[in-house]
Structure 1
Amino acid sequence: MELWQLQCFLTVAEELNFSRAAIRLKITQPPLSLQIKQLEKELGIPLFFRNNRHVELSEAGKVFYSDIRQIFDDLNRAAENAQRAHRGEVGTLTVGFVGSATYDILPAVLREFRNLYPLVQVLLHEMSTPTQIEALHQKRIDVGVLRPPVTDDGVCTEIVMTVPCVLAVPKNHPLIDRKKISLEILSKYPFVMLSRKTWASLYDEILARCNPTISQEALEFQTVIGLVAAGLGIAIVPQSAINLHTQDVAYLDLHNQLPMASMGISWRKGDHSPLVKAFLQIAKSTSAN
């Protein structure tokens, strides 16, 4: 059996008229009749009862029509699904993200992505930047939302957001009343630092600029801010963290003296997945607004 023969059969079964079926198929009636005869011969059964004025399906033809109609519906559905997958409209996207992305760019990106691609399943995994790079190589995630720089030749990274850092201090801290704060003054006070395991470049830059006295370290900014609120020290955090513990923490702008904090999107080099491309484009457009 060939697909063309089955298409001819379906058309005749729907029209119950060889002339109309031939017009739909854009062929003449003789080759259409030949296709039906060859199909019946191959199956060894009559599919139609016909005379000069009347065509009807045999009982076997009715059963055959039902099954072949379902097969063609499945084929059409498969073609549509493949086309949607090519356009990035269906499938699964596994995203790794640093914890601080949840109060930065990630919520807005996910909202827009789900709005544009409602049939795509998004799987989220919180992990540090180094763990995301490893997970990309192991194909455990498709895309990472992380903190640059990334110096891995097997991974592509594009920075999608850059914000200044601010100084987080307890609400009763003496630095709040100072009109001007220099980086040299900061070394007098204990620091709560985000662990180097979480964000190595920011950790090293704070050490180089401020020569801090480190009293505590934490793996996530939310914990860092919580420790600042408890009075255990001061901290340098991205501006996007300023909505955390606002009753107990003040955020001070040191006028371009502090590092800039970037957020990047990473993916495997050579991965041309339309879902990864769509996620990146949404992240870029969201951060630009």
Structure 2
Amino acid sequence: MNTTQLECFLAVAETLNFSKAAEMVNISQPAVSHQISSLEAELGVRLFLRTNKSVQLTKEGLIFIGDAETIVRTAMNSIHRLSTNVKEKKRTVAIGVHNQYELDAAVPVMNIIGKMYPNFEPEITMMPFKSLDNLLEENKLQIIFAIKSENETTKAECFTALCECPVMLICRKDDELSGRKSININGRRVILIKRHKCPDAAMEGYMKLGMPNNSNVLLADGCEAAFAMVKAGLGVTAFPMMPYMNDSELEYIRIDGLAPVLLGLYSKKLIKGEPAFEFVTEAKKFYKNYRYPIDKTKAV
């Protein structure tokens, strides 16, 4: 297995078109096909389903994307470190997030570390829950931003709590639910986030509100997609209110009877003085006095 094979694989996975992939990696289409075939033979699985009219990723191909990205990124970083006259060692922290809102929570901490150390280089990976756990176990990630889960076994050794996140019913500002003292979602369409991208807290919110029948459900491939559907007026959803998540087009209504959940950092045991340890330390300092604008929300 080599980086040329992996770069060809990632280009085809992104475009689902061998001709466009060939343009991206600057080699001929037959050469891309050869690289993919060689990679599939080495792995012993089909990565793509190919017909005369379409190209689709197989289940194995979807799973392999994260590994391929990690290997290519590691190779590129190695080339960068060895080919550049670096006066001071780079302070690299490999960070995993599941969605844009966890990434937004990481931004102020990255800003602090960047000001402390000009040679700070974060490596950010955004993937579903189980995939990040596996990368942490394989030491390809050092830190994962996540809502703490009591039910799912994680490969981490430590959890550092940063702040509380109340579980919210989320609807449009002009929704009939907005402003009501009591909430009844009977007959309303609920937007459910697919389980592999849905934190336990959101599932508890759905159950507390009363899970609708299957004919009144929309499935969303992640919280970003769910919120977009809510903004389009297609239904309501539930999700923990995370830092910097306040959208002016949406109404956040606290679900009474559900305790806030914790947003924090999963990691293995970190050594004092290492960049990842300092990242966690600064994250704790930043979020120590953080408060959500909950006074602007109502309770169900």
Q: Structure 2 length normalisation: TM-score?
A: 0.58
CA shift digits 1:35-88 (9 cap, x unpaired):
xxxxxxxxxxxxxxxxxxxxxxxxxxxxxxxxxxxxxxxxxxx9x96xxx7xxx
Aligned length: 198
Structure with the largest fraction of helix: 1
Closer, same or farther in 2 for the Cα pair 1:261/1:286, shift >3 Å?
Answer: same
Aligned letter for 1:156? C
CA shift digits 1:109-168 (9 cap, x unpaired):
111111112212211111223222110111211211122226336532222121212221
Q: Which residue of 1 aligns with 2:234?
A: 232
Closer, same or farther in 2 for the Cα pair 1:165/1:176, shift >3 Å?
Answer: same
Closer, same or farther in 2 for the Cα pair 1:127/1:276, shift >3 Å?
Answer: same
Q: Which residue of 2 aligns with 1:62?
A: none
Closer, same or farther in 2 for the Cα pair 1:230/1:146, shift >3 Å?
Answer: same
After TM superposition, the structure 1 = structure 2 runs for residues 244-283 of structure 1, keeping only pairs within 5 Å, are: 244=247, 246-247=248-249, 249-254=250-255, 256-269=256-269, 274-283=274-283
Closer, same or farther in 2 for the Cα pair 1:147/1:177, shift >3 Å?
Answer: closer
Extract unaligned runs of 5+ from structure 2. 1-85, 290-300
Contact in 2 for aligned 1:186/1:212 (Cα 8 Å): no
RMSD over equivalenced CA pairs, Å: 2.8
Q: Which residue of 2 aligns with 1:191?
A: 190
Separation of aligned partners in 1, 2:94 and 2:282? 16
Contact in 1 for aligned 2:206/2:237 (Cα 8 Å): no
Contact in 1 for aligned 2:162/2:263 (Cα 8 Å): yes
Separation of aligned partners in 1, 2:219 and 2:262? 21
Greater shift in the superposed pair: 267-276 or 111-120:
267-276
Greater C-alpha Rg: 1
Closer, same or farther in 2 for the Cα pair 1:208/1:237, shift >3 Å?
Answer: closer
Contact in 2 for aligned 1:166/1:236 (Cα 8 Å): yes
Aligned letter for 2:192? M
User: Of 148, 160, 166, which aligns to 1:158?
Assistant: 160
Separation of aligned partners in 2, 1:223 and 1:261? 22
Separation of aligned partners in 1, 2:245 and 2:279? 26
Contact in 2 for aligned 1:206/1:212 (Cα 8 Å): no
Greater shift in the superposed pair: 193-202 or 108-117:
193-202
What is the SS of the residue equivalent to 1:189? coil
Aligned letter for 1:193? L
CA shift digits 1:156-214 (9 cap, x unpaired):
22221212122211233221242233xxx234321112222123412431243222226
Percentage of matched positions with identical amino acids? 17
CA shift digits 1:5-40 (9 cap, x unpaired):
xxxxxxxxxxxxxxxxxxxxxxxxxxxxxxxxxxxx
Contact in 1 for aligned 2:167/2:202 (Cα 8 Å): no
Q: Structure 1 length normalisation: TM-score?
A: 0.60
Closer, same or farther in 2 for the Cα pair 1:232/1:116, shift >3 Å?
Answer: same
Separation of aligned partners in 1, 2:271 and 2:196? 27
Q: Which residue of 1 aligns with 2:103?
A: 102
